[in-house]
Structure formats: C-alpha cells, structure tokens
C-alpha cells in the first residue's frame, strides 16, 4: 500500500465494502453462540451423548481458534480476497449440511467444517478493511465497527437462535447463514480488491498440526473424564495432547517465523491482555450454554421466553462495546481492564442465588453486570495487546489476541461445561448423562426429576464460582502489573529494524 493513498478519503465503495465484510464477520461470531439456547431442541431431535453435546457446541470454536493464525499466513501468500471468498463458500455449504444433519456425528463434522471456514474469514476481513480505508483515522473507525459487530454477534447469537427456534426447526439456526454467504459471494468481487503482502512468511504446517491435535486431544480427555470418569484411554489421550502442546510451544520458540510468537508473553501487559482475551470469553460461553439449559430445562421457560431473558445482557454488552473506546480515553485502559474482571466476577457470583424453583431476576441481574465487564474486555484486548509490543510485532500480537478470543469461547464450554457435567454425574440420579436426557426418560419419577435439576444447578454454581475466582485473581494481577497510563498507549511509528536489530531487541525483552 503506497503512501499516496494514505490520505485519500473513503468513498461509497469503501463503506459498502465494509457492510459486505461485516456479514460474514457477524455470522462467524453468532455461530459461536447461536446453539446455546438451541441445545435442548437439538438434544430432542438427535439424542447426542453428553460428550457429543459438548463437541457440537465447541468443536466450531476449536477449529476457528487453532487455524486462525495459519490462515492469516495463507491469505498473505495466496490473496486475502481469494481466501475470503473460498471461506464464505465453504461456510455456507457447511451451514446447509449442519441444518439437515441426521445425527450428532454428522452435525459435529459440519460444525468442524464451519470452524475451518470461519478461520479463513476473520484475518482476511481485517486485511481487506485496510485496503478499503487507507486513511488511518477512517481505518480505525472501520476496525472499531468491525470489533463491535463481532462482539454483538456473540451477544445476540442466543437471542437470534431463540427467535428462530420459536418458529422453525432447530436447523434454521444454521440455514440463515446461507443467504448471507450468497450475498457476500455476489457482492465481494465488485466492491473488494485483492490484498497480498510483499514478502509473505511461510506457514509452518507441523505447527498447525501440533496445535490443533494437541488442543483437541487434551480437551477430549477432559470431556471423557467428566462424562465417564477416569479411564486408561482418557489418561493416554490427555497425556498425548499435553505432550503435543508442549512440543508446539518449544517449536515456536525455535522458529524464526513462528505460528504463535510466545516471546511476546515476556511483556506483562501483553500477557494480561492475552489472558483477558481468553478468560471472559470462556466464562461468557460457559454461562450462556449452561444458562440456556437452566432457563428451559430447569425453570421450564419456552425458547422465546429464554431469548427474552437473555436480551438485556446482550443489549448491555453491545452498548458497552460501542462506548468503551471513548470511556477508555477518559479513565485509561488500565482502569477498564481491571474493572472488567471485577465486574465479571461480581456478576457471576449473582448466579449463586439461582435455584431449582426460581432465579430469573438473579439471572438477568447477572447478565447485565457481566455484560458491562464483557463489553469492556472485548473492546480493549486487541488495542492493549498491540500497544504493548514493538510496532514490527503488532501483527503477531493482534493475531494472538484474536486467537485467545476463539480459544476462550471453546474452552469455556469444554472445561467449565465439563466441570458442570462432572457434578451432574456425581450428584444426579444416575439415569442418564445429561439433564435433558434424564428429563426425557419415560415414566420418570418426580423425585428423580427434582434430583436431576438440583444436580444441574449445583454444577452451574460450581462452574460460575470457579470462573468468578479466576476473574478476581486476574483483576488483581492486572491492577499490579499494568503501569498507570501505559496500557493502551500506542507506540510511535518507527522504521522496521533490520533482522540483527530485531534479534537484539528480542534478547532485551
């Protein structure tokens, strides 16, 4: 991108192009959460096991998170627009397949394929925005709209899913992706231009395989432990997964162009930002999933009513994402990062007042308080991460921030969801692996149904208590580690250093 274009204003084509790009971005975010209220109906239709139900929910997030950085490099080499269009086509086709899946195994497979396609969309969409808006001020505004849309997609996913399920069958939550993908494929060649970098780096295929396999095997072992207890197969799977992840980390530290630059974690501010990208998404996704089951299967709300209960929290989260940049300019990014963790912790603790016979008011209050915290974290993470590192490493920092969001979304369901499932297995009536399976048993006694609901609520309480403690700890760490006035400070631009200077800079860090 040459310097003459930097000051040129954005025209109608640029804003229409932004609108077209936001369609796939919204879909990728929504599909990370749209199933949270749909799972009871999916369970009724496909009868997945407890392990399969968790995979249906989070295999999408793991696929996106494990391939996000890799597809960023592939897009640099072969063209961002080309990759963006291929990803949109596969995303639409996989969504149609998921909508008509005849069993849980097929649904898991199509959700994984949707995740692979989703991983092509986010980094390429951001690169295309840079071509649409060469002016730095307008580009910053466009990226802010991009971030707010992504956060809003996560927030409104359950609400949109609830609205669709109140009128149509469960597959409609996937089928809505198809027309958006078609519109994008028709409009993108007209409004968007190809984007490549001058000297793209190599994509390290072994790193991609190690990270993806390590994450999937480790999480599979955790889910297996929660659903079936300790077994030799689960222990072996978990051990292999941990070894592969360790191998992945070691390989990144040795590569000249790593898939994920772990050396950035030597900076405390960057570390806090990266963990802040992961932990709030983990808490939010776990509570949204468990909360959807709680509202429908424990309290007996309809899908429509459950969606309405989730609406205040989604609205607060979206509004907070929009106003946070201006708020951070006044109070500072450090105050925002610290506040987000303590607000999330306080809001999660409100869920401890929910019970088998009631708790809608507490649920709404929790969603509103945590919504403010989630909105702060979603808006501040990327800027804080990028500002904490030298300009020549800003791309790696932004990629890690994006990846932490996706991995956090999946880990919340995998780990906190598995913790809740473990409590249900230990304290429930022992008739089936999940609450919905138990309540669907013919001739179920009233006492057994009450025990199953009580066990589920106990699992929900333990999951939110663990998440609240983790947020409290991270808030205290952020308060101590982030210097006042430094977080969010964008370093002045400087010439890219030579390889020797960059190596010396890395050694000093």
CA dihedral (367, 368, 372, 373) positive or negative: negative
Q: What is the pLDDT of residue 144?
A: 64
From 218, 235, 258, give the residue that closes a domain. Answer: 258
Interval 59-117: pLDDT, tens: 887 777 677 666 766 766 667 788 888 888 998 999 999 999 989 999 999 999 988 88
* Cα gap 505→490, rounded to integer Å: 18
- Tell me: do 282 and 247 sit in the same domain: no
User: Is the pTM for the entire model greater than 0.85?
Assistant: no
* Cα gap 403→262, rounded to integer Å: 13
What does DSSP assign to residue 443?
T
What does DSSP assign to residue 296?
I
| Mean pLDDT of the region 148-156 | 70
- Tell me: do 192 and 81 sit in the same domain: yes
Residue 218: inside a domain: yes
- Tell me: do 34 and 104 sit in the same domain: yes
Residue 504: inside a domain: no
Interval 351-395: pLDDT, tens: 999 999 989 999 999 999 999 998 888 778 877 887 787 766 766
Residue 67: inside a domain: yes
- Tell me: do 330 and 297 sit in the same domain: yes
* Cα gap 214→105, rounded to integer Å: 21
- Tell me: do 188 and 56 sit in the same domain: yes
How would residue 137 be classed by pLDDT, with cut points 50, 70 and 90? low
CB environment 246-278: b (16+ within 10 A), e (fewer): ebbeebbeebeebbbbebbeebebbbbbbbbbb
Q: The domain containing residue 351 runs over which residues?
A: 262-494
Distances (CA, A) of 262 to 178, 390, 408: 37, 14, 17
Tokens 């006042």 label which residue? 484
Encoded tokens for 306 = 């459950």
- Tell me: do 240 and 272 sit in the same domain: no
Residue 162: inside a domain: yes
Residue 8 above 60 pLDDT?
Answer: no
| Mean pLDDT of the region 127-151 | 69
Percentage above 90 pLDDT, the chain: 24
Q: What are the helix (H) ranges across 229-355?
A: 232-254, 268-293, 303-331, 333-350
Which CATH number fits the domain that encloses residue 43? 1.20.1250.20
Three-state secondary structure call for residue 34 = coil
Chain centroid to CA 102: how far?
27
Residue 232: inside a domain: yes
CA dihedral 375, 365, 280, 282 (to 10 degrees): -130
| Lowest mean pLDDT across 120-134, 204-218, 353-367 | 120-134
Give how many domains the chain has, as a whole number.
3
- Tell me: do 196 and 211 sit in the same domain: no
Question: What does the mean pLDDT of the chain come to?
Answer: 80
Interval 387-445: pLDDT, tens: 787 766 766 677 677 777 767 776 787 788 889 988 998 999 988 878 888 888 888 88
- Tell me: do 358 and 462 sit in the same domain: yes
Distances (CA, A) of 132 to 6, 12, 13, 22, 138: 11, 10, 8, 13, 10
- Tell me: do 130 and 90 sit in the same domain: yes
H or E element that contains 274: helix 268-293
- Tell me: do 253 and 348 sit in the same domain: no
Encoded tokens for 355 = 């019970």
- Tell me: do 242 and 278 sit in the same domain: no
- Tell me: do 253 and 291 sit in the same domain: no
Residue 500: inside a domain: no
For the residues of 353-390, what is the DSSP string, one character each?
G--SS--HHHHHHHHHHHHHHHHHHHHHHHHHHHHTS-
| Mean pLDDT of the region 199-220 | 77
Residue 503: inside a domain: no
From 156, 172, 202, give the residue that closes a domain. Answer: 202
Encoded tokens for 47 = 């009868």
Interval 241-265: pLDDT, tens: 999 999 999 998 998 878 778 888 9
Residue 394: inside a domain: yes
CA dihedral 43, 414, 24, 488 (to 10 degrees): 150
379's CB contacts (< 8 A; 6+ apart) are 147, 148, 151, 320, 321, 324, 325, 328, 336
Phi, then psi, of 137 in degrees rounded to 5? -65, -45
| Mean pLDDT of the region 477-483 | 89
């Amino acid at each position: 991108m040459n310097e003459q274009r930097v000051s040129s204003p954005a025209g109608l084509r640029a804003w229409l192009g932004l609108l077209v790009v936001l369609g796939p971005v919204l879909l990728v975010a929504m599909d990370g959460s749209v199933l949270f209220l749909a799972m009871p109906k999916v369970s009724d239709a496909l009868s997945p096991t407890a392990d399969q139900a968790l995979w249906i929910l989070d295999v999408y997030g793991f696929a996106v998170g494990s391939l996000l950085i890799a597809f960023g490099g592939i897009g640099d080499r072969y063209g961002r627009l080309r990759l963006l269009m291929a990803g949109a086509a596969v995303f639409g086709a996989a969504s149609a397949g998921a909508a008509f899946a005849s069993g849980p195994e097929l649904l898991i497979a199509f959700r994984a394929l949707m995740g692979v396609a989703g991983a092509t969309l986010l980094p390429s969409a951001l690169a295309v925005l840079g071509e649409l808006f060469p002016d730095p001020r307008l580009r910053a505004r466009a990226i802010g709209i991009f971030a707010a849309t992504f956060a809003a997609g996560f927030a409104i996913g359950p609400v949109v899913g609830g609205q669709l399920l109140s009128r149509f069958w469960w597959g409609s939550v996937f089928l809505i992706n198809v027309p958006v993908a078609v519109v994008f494929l028709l409009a993108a060649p007209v409004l968007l231009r190809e984007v490549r970098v001058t000297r793209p780096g190599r994509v390290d295929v072994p790193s991609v395989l190690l990270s993806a396999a390590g994450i999937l095997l480790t999480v599979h072992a955790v889910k297996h432990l929660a659903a079936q207890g300790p077994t030799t197969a689960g222990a072996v799977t978990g051990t292999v997964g941990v070894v592969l992840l360790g191998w992945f980390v070691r390989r990144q530290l040795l590569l000249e162009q790593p898939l994920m630059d772990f050396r950035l974690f030597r900076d405390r501010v960057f570390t806090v930002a990266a963990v802040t990208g992961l932990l709030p998404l983990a808490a939010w996704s776990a509570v949204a999933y468990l909360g959807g089951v709680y509202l429908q299967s424990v309290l007996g709300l309809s899908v429509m009513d459950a969606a309405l209960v989730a609406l205040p929290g989604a609205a607060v989260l979206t509004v907070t994402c929009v106003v946070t940049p201006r708020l951070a300019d006044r109070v500072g990014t450090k105050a925002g990062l610290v506040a987000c963790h303590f607000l999330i912790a306080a809001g999660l603790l409100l869920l401890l007042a929910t019970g088998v016979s009631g708790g809608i008011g507490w649920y709404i209050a929790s969603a509103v308080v945590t919504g403010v915290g989630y909105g702060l974290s979603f808006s501040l993470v990327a800027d804080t991460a990028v500002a904490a590192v030298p300009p020549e490493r800003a791309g790696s920092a932004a990629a890690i921030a994006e990846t932490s969001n996706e991995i956090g979304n999946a880990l919340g369901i995998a780990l906190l969801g598995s913790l809740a499932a473990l409590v249900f297995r230990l304290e429930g009536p022992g008739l089936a692996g999940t609450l919905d399976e138990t309540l669907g048993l013919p001739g179920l006694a009233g006492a057994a149904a009450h025990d199953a609901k009580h066990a589920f609520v106990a699992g929900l309480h333990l999951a939110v208590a663990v998440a609240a403690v983790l947020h409290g700890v991270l808030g205290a760490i952020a308060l101590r580690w982030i210097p006042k006035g430094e977080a969010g400070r964008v370093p002045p631009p400087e010439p890219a250093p030579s390889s020797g200077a960059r190596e010396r800079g890395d050694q000093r860090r």
